[in-house]
Every structure is written in structure tokens, then in C-alpha cells.
Structure 1
Amino acid sequence: MSPAAPFPYAGPETLRQPIIEALTRVVDPEVALSIVDVGLVIGVTVSADRLHVLLTMTSAACPVAGLIIEEVEAELASIAERGMAIDVELVWEPAWTPERMSERARRFMQW
């Protein structure tokens, strides 16, 4: 059995780990940590024809939101099944808080 995702995941088990790894390769350039460690991934849902990711940012004024979304789309395209639509949705609820960060990120940020 695959380890639990660090965010809510609904979809085929065969894609769980590749999706986690793909999202972990996306780095928030403002803090030099993966978006998974920062806690920007709210959840992932995979159906037969769609890979849907809910993302948030640490603030609505995030200057790199567009770049992060583009990188998420590119990383997921590299592992998605042929013909699968990739839908990255930026949401503000639930709001990001430092509690969303991984223990690794907290140590790195010295929090």
C-alpha cells in the first residue's frame, strides 16, 4: 500500500506516488521549498479523464502564483495518462496558514 499523500487525494492508487513526486518537484521560488512542503496543495482528485489540483498561495498578492501554476501543469503533464486534462485551480478557502507547512519546512524556516 502506498503511503498517504501529504494532502487529500482521491484517485487511482497507481497515480498517487507519481503525483506526489511531480508536485514535490515544483518549488516556491520565494522560500526555496517544494509547494508540498509549504502546504500549498489543498487536494488532488483524479478521474478517468481529468487530474484536478486545488492550490492556494501564502497570500493573495503572491507575485509568483502564475509561475507556480505553470510548473504544476508541466510536471503533471509529464506523468498524466494520455488524453487526461490537467486542471489547476487556485483557491483561497481554506486559507493558507503556517500550520499547513511540513515539519521539514518549519525546520528550514526556523519556525
Structure 2
Amino acid sequence: MSAPITGGETFSLASESAVVNATWSALSTVYDPELCLDVVSLGLVYDVRGNDTEVHVELTLTTPGCPASESLPAMARAAISEALGNKVAVDVRVVWDPPWSPAMMTETAARSLGFRGR
């Protein structure tokens, strides 16, 4: 069984690492609507596990009162499902431990938001 990856490539869902890599790639296309940066660069994705039947993602939000608390997990779920050809069950959970901090962002993301001297 094969599923599409962004860019028209295909991969075997039997490869656990291919599923995890495709999931990370899909998550890098999901943007926080307020910060206009992707959830991977922001350091919001804590864990990605998957196999040929399911993918589990743990992510957090910048604050518990984040206005994107419902939309970001839904956008992540949709991006992963599309990247994996709707062939696997996708579980995206919001977790709060550890709490997110700006130190979790990539250097590029931090600079784009005005954080200096990390």
C-alpha cells in the first residue's frame, strides 16, 4: 500500500520511519494563525509516533488560552491525513507538560518574532 507525500512522491506505509517523516513534513505546513509560523519551527510538536495503521502526535499551544486551541489540532490532523493519503488513523492530542516557552522555537523562528540572544 502506498500513500502520497507532498510533491507527488509515494512511500510504503509499511515503513514506520516513512510515516513519521511524512508526518513531520505535514506538520511543517501547519501555521499558527496569529504568529504566522509553522508549528514545528515554533517548537509546538512534542512527539510523533506512527506505523502503517495509525499516527499519534502530541503538540502544545503557546498558552492555555490560545485562540487557536481548536483550529491548530484540526489543521494538524487534516494535513497529516492528506499527506498519508487518508490511509491511517490520526490522533492529535494537545498536552501542557512541559509548558511551551520561546526557548523551544528554532533560532530562525525566534529571530522572526524578535527574540534575540538565545
* TM-score relative to the length of structure 2: 0.79
- Percent of pairs with identical residues: 32
More helix by share: 1
**2:30 and 2:39 in contact (8 A); partners too:** yes
Q: Describe the SS at the equivalent of 2:112.
A: helix
Query: Which residue, 31, 42, 46 being the options, matches 2:46?
Result: 42
Look up the match of 2:55: 51
Secondary structure of 2:83's partner?
coil
Give the TM-score normalised by structure 1.
0.83
Question: For residue 98 of structure 1, what is the aligned residue in structure 2?
Answer: 102
The equivalent of 1:60 in structure 2 is: 64
Q: 3-state DSSP class of the match of 1:28?
A: coil
Q: CA separation in 2, counterparts of 1:56 and 1:83? A: 25
List runs of 5+ in structure 1 lacking aligned partners.
1-10
Amino acid in the other structure paired with 1:93: D
Change in 2 beyond 3 A, CA 1:99/1:64: same
The CA distance in 2 between the partners of 1:16 and 1:44, in whole Å, is 6
Q: Report the Cα offset of residue 30 of structure 1.
A: 1.0
Q: Number of paired residues? A: 101
* Cα-Cα RMSD: 1.5
Structure 2 spans left out of the alignment, 5+ residues? 1-14
Query: In 1, distance between residues paired with 2:108 and 2:21?
Result: 19
